[in-house]
Every structure is written in C-alpha cells, then in structure tokens.
Amino acid sequence: MVSMDMDEGLRSTLRYPLIHGFRIGEEIGGGGCSKVFRAIHDEESKVAACKVIDLYLSPTLGYPPPNIKELQKEVQVHKSLKSPYILEFLHSEVVERDKERDGWVPGLYMLLELAVGGDLFDKIAPDVGIPEDLAKFYFAQLVSGIDFVHSKGIAHRDLKPENLLLAANGNLKISDFGLCAVFRHKGRERLLSGRCGSLPYVAPELGGPLGVGYAAEPVDIWGMGVVLYTLLVGNTPWDEPSSQSPEYNAYLTGELLNYDPWTRIQGQARALLLALLTVDPTQRIKMEGIKRHPWCMTPTQLQREQIADALTQGMRSNGMMAIVDPTFNNQSSQAYIHARSQRMMESQWTSSLRPQESQFLRGTGNITQGGDFINISTRFWINLSPREAFVVLVTFLSKEVGKENLVEGSEGTAIRVRKMAGQKTVQGTFYIRPNDSLSAEGQSLVIMQRGKGSILHWKAFWWSIVRHSDLASFVVRGDT
C-alpha cells in the first residue's frame, strides 16, 4: 500500500495534457492501473469523462501489466457502438512514455461521455432494492442496449452493477467493454473460450473444462438475470455459480426459492428470472423471448418525474437519504433552502440542464442541498473541522480495518482504505473537504469514493460507518 504513494510522488510534478480540447479536472473514479477524471472543454462549455490507463505501471505495485492488445480491442469496439443506452466513446490517444521528459503523464487516454447521474447501484439500498416498476424500466433499457451490442456480433461479458451508469435524466448507460469479445464476423459465428467476468455475475458455463468453448449471447443473458435480481432485492443471489457456493447449490435443487429474498419476487418477474438464470445455456431464454415475455410486454406505470423518488425509495425508508442529503424543517433551514435554490440557478452544473435532468439530479441527491454537484451517495457531513475529522476517521478506521490497510494522504485530506468483504476486498478513498458554502460552520464533508470492488459492499461499508457508535454523534442527520 505504501508503494502507491511512492509511485504518485514520482509523478507528482507531471501534468495531464489537453485531450481533444478537454483539460483534465478532478479525479472521480478508477482503480488498479487506471484513473477516471472529469474533463472540461472550456471553449465549448462541455464536460466528459477521461479514463487514463497507465501503460507503464511498475510491477512493484502488485498489479498485472495492461494487455495492450485487449485495450486496442476495447477502443475499437466501444467507438463503434452508438446507442442511447451505451456510454458514448468520444476519442482516444496515447501519450508515449518519452513525453515524461516534457512533463506529461504518459498512458492511454480514453475520452467518454460523462454519466452525470453516477452509478445506478450507488442509489440503491443494499438488501432492499428498488420497486418492481422501476426495475422493469431499467431492465427494458438494459435489454435494448445489449440487444444492440449482440446485433453487432459483440458480447459484453462483464455485466454487473459497477458497469451500469446513469445519464442526467436517469436513463441507463452501459459502460466498460474491456472484456468484450467478437463472436460474429461477416455472418460467421464462433464459440468463445476466455474465462473472465466477476464471479457473482458470471454464467456457470464459464466454469467448465478449459478448452471447451461456450456460446456468447447466453453469457450476457445470464448476467442480465443476476442484474435484474440485484435490482429487485439489493444483493446478488450467490457469490459464484459453482459448487463452492451453498446458495447456488440450493438454487440447483430449488430449495433456495423457498427463502427470502426469493420469496419477495413473485408472478411474471419470478418466471422471467428463472428463465434468465436457467443453468443450461442451450435452454436459457433468448433475447427475442425476453422481449416477448409478459413481464417485459407490460409497460411500467412510472412517470418520468417519479423515477428519482422510486430509485431512492429504499434509501429514504431506512434513513440513508437523511445522511446523504440532509434537510431540516426549522426556520433557518428554510432560508438555507431558498439560498440553495438561488445558487442552483447560477451553478455551472444546472445552467445547461433541462428541467427533466435537473429534477432527477435533485431528487437523487446528485445536486446537494447546497447546490453542489456530487454524484456519489456514499458521503456524509460531520460536525468537525477537516483537520479534526481526519484525526477521528484515521483513529476509527485503524480499529475497523487495521492500520496496515490505511494510507494517509500527506495533506490530511484523504485516506485510502482497503477492507475485506467476505472472500473479496473493497478499496476506496475517503476525501475530507471543508463544508459547502451554505452548510454550518465547523462542518466537513466526507466523500467515500470507491476505487475497486463491489459497489454493494462499499455501500454497506458506508452505512456501517455512519451508524457506528464511535461516529454517530458527529454525523449530520436531517429530519426529513
């Protein structure tokens, strides 16, 4: 973990170049050998996301070297896919290593559409999920996007919550084609053989004998099934589809279906799930069957303006939103909200938004009560100054995850954390900022930005922190 800081120190004097007219702004995500930044085109008043992949990563950091051939394939495939429900690929270029001498950060730069709404599953309460009508809304968009991908002879092979993002109006955006494969070219299809994907979402046939190929489209359809289940109940059905998983073994016998949360899923939704999660890929429902299924044929009753409330319904019912976006009913808070509204009218983020987009972003807390744009819900305000908050959090996290799993930023504004989540780990960074311009004096904003691992586990980690007895007295909670 210490070596990460050493590597950053070596490059701290380097700068990011302009990419296709966009300057690199604040870091908004990443993990392993890549970082994602917000990018701004000042002349055209546009924003985008820029993924920077370190092609020259030091092996001492413990990450495998990037596969240049696979990255080239990802770029070529993603730029060819133009669909309303696929994150748009804008531009790519490589800054060679010899440019370090000129002060530039080398690597592969991929300019992408900015998913202003953030991660879909960032807005979903773990173990709660979303209403069935909203799950139907997002599943229909997922079907449309993956159907288009398959029509081009491409399989995504990595469908999971971390790769499902949201546009400013709440529509789905499928991202990350790093594990994609071409299975049809000039009318000829082939079986795939690479073993890849995230274990909770991967199809069981990928665990077959090495050298035995598998059909491409059923793999994505299985992944769509696990995503639908996760939308409905807020968790995955198993850790992996193998004999190593007690839950999966119970699914094979049918016993699992008699227990919560499966018992919460009824009627045609349950029938579709079982068709999507048919173990034999030759018997698994096909895309045309999905589109003709009664559950998909029955349109959602949700109106567009209801999506934000439906998406955050679970977070509101269990008190999460009172921490993510606290509001108060007292008189001083009413003045605060009025000032917030005035500030929002002048905000760079809201000036270019359509009313539908502004409504969705406010309703999901992506635009805070202070009018600031923060599309990460794993955040909280704390009644401490930034310096005090840093000390308290380091002390708390040292007890919770162990000092060996922390890296303290040299300026006292960031803490990198690694935490065990079952057999896996989640990693991320706690960023500690001064209060926004309209919150109380002496408060700090803590943003927990996930770097690597399950978004559901990271959300559960956040929820355990803000309710912990050691911190609860400091955490700001709203009364609505």
Catalytic residues: 158
For residue 113, count other CB atoms closer than 10 A to its CB: 17
Question: What φ, ψ does residue 392 adopt, rounded to 5°?
Answer: -65, -45
Phi/psi region, residue 30 (left: phi>0; alpha: psi -120 to 50; beta: rest), is: left
Which has the closest alpha carbon to 225: 288, 275, 167?
275
Amino acid at 198: S
Q: Output the six-digit token pair for 322.
A: 């009172």
Q: Output the six-digit token pair for 293.
A: 């299924």
HSE-CB at 448 with a 13 A cutoff on CA atoms is 27
For residue 239, count other CB atoms closer than 10 A to its CB: 16
Which has the closest alpha carbon to 110: 35, 167, 163?
35
Q: How far is residue 69's CA from residue 166's CA, in Å, rounded to a whole number?
A: 29
Residues near 237 by beta carbon (within 8 Å), at least 6 away in sequence: 200, 226, 229, 247, 248, 251, 256, 262, 277
CB under 8 Å, gap of 24 or more: what pairs does 183-191 form?
183/153, 183/154, 183/155, 183/215, 183/216, 183/217, 184/153, 184/216, 185/153, 189/153, 189/216, 191/215, 191/216
Q: Output the six-digit token pair for 54.
A: 């370190």
For residue 6, count other CB atoms closer than 10 A to its CB: 11
Total residue length of the chain: 480
Residues near 391 by beta carbon (within 8 Å), at least 6 away in sequence: none
Which has the closest alpha carbon to 460: 306, 344, 332, 318?
318
Which has the closest alpha carbon to 137: 364, 354, 310, 317?
310
